[in-house]
């Protein structure tokens, strides 16, 4: 069985690394999941958002019994210290919905999981309210699912948009099951030529983030003895933060 389980939101975030992996469809809790497998790791694309990530985390742990769960994918910068294409491995995962903090014991800094696509205004609010360096939509749910089952967790995020990058509201294109409505999104943009330059920038930024993520994920294809030893350590813990502690 693979020692590492990787959970990403969308295939396009990790496509280069899984092109030659085996593909298996398996069912868990009445839902079908597509798993990409190699000798050292298994990867599943959950869809966007915490609920989709939670379901995928439960499924991959139940079916594969990994020793490490990785939340991989895009994140938005909450500080000017991050550039597009940087890789962020946070030590703390903050949950904006639950007001909790999950310790991973690996990496440095803080990532906050927010229940929506954060634009520039929301990013500034999050940066002011939390001492976090980046924001995503899934890591806290994956971390909570892994830690609840006694499995070590790490987040590996590629920065896909800078602090000041803005696009039209993206949440409207996320389906209830977490899938991105690509055709609806493209139709929306095609009717608005003033967005085309931003779309090109978005595609360029996403490509840089994908390359960074996939390069970093290569280490999990064949985990080293040192990495396996780290997987055997006790998982992190979850604590709840007061409003003062969140700053």
CATH of the domain at 166: 3.40.50.1580
CA–CA gap between residue 136 and residue 206 (Å, rounded): 14
Q: β-pairing, 100-103 with 92-95?
A: antiparallel
Average pLDDT over residues 18-24: 93
Distances in whole angstroms, Cα of residue 223 to Cα of each of 47, 180, 228: 26, 32, 6
Residue identified by tokens 């085309």 is 196
Domain assignment of residue 243, yes or no? no
- pLDDT, position 237: 59
User: How many domains does the chain fold into?
Assistant: 1
Q: Does 240 map to a domain?
A: no
Residues near 96 by beta carbon (within 8 Å), at least 6 away in sequence: 112, 113, 114, 115, 126, 130
Q: What's the confidence (pLDDT) of residue 214? A: 94
CA–CA gap between residue 74 and residue 209 (Å, rounded): 7
Q: Does the residue 218 lie in any domain?
A: yes
Mean pLDDT rounded to a whole number for the chain: 88
pLDDT, residue 239, reads 62
pLDDT at 235: 67
247 domain-assigned: no
- Residue 99: inside a domain: yes
This prediction's pTM: 0.87
Is 105 inside a domain boundary?
yes
Mean pLDDT along residues 136-158: 95
Q: Tell me the residue range of the domain where 49 lies.
A: 4-234
Whether 244 is in a domain gets the answer no
At what angle are helices 139-148 and 50-64 packed, to 10 degrees?
30
Residue 83 inside a domain? The answer is yes
SS3 content of the chain, % helix, strand, coil (to 5): 35, 25, 35
């Amino acid at each position: 069985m693979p020692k590492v389980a990787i959970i990403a939101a969308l295939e396009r975030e990790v496509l280069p690394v899984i092109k030659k992996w085996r593909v298996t469809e398996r069912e868990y809790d009445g839902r079908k999941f597509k798993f990409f497998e190699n000798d050292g790791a298994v990867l599943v694309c959950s869809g966007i958002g915490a609920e989709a990530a939670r379901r995928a985390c439960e499924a991959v742990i139940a079916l594969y019994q990994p020793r490490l769960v990785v939340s991989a994918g895009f994140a938005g910068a909450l500080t000017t210290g991050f550039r597009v294409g940087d890789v962020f491995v946070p030590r703390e995962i903050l949950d904006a919905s639950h007001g909790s903090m999950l310790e991973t014991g690996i990496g440095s800094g803080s990532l906050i999981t927010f229940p929506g696509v954060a634009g520039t205004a929301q990013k500034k609010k999050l940066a002011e309210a939390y001492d976090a360096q980046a924001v995503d939509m899934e890591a806290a749910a994956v971390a909570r699912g892994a830690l609840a089952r006694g499995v070590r967790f790490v987040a590996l995020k590629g920065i896909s948009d800078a602090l000041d990058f803005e696009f039209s509201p993206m949440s409207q294109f996320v389906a209830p099951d977490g899938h991105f409505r690509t055709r609806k999104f493209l139709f929306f943009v095609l009717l608005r030529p003033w967005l085309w330059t931003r779309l090109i920038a978005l595609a360029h930024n996403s490509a840089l983030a994908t390359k960074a993520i996939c390069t970093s994920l290569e280490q999990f294809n064949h985990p080293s003895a040192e990495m396996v030893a780290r997987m055997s350590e006790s998982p992190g813990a979850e604590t709840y933060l007061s409003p003062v502690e969140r700053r």
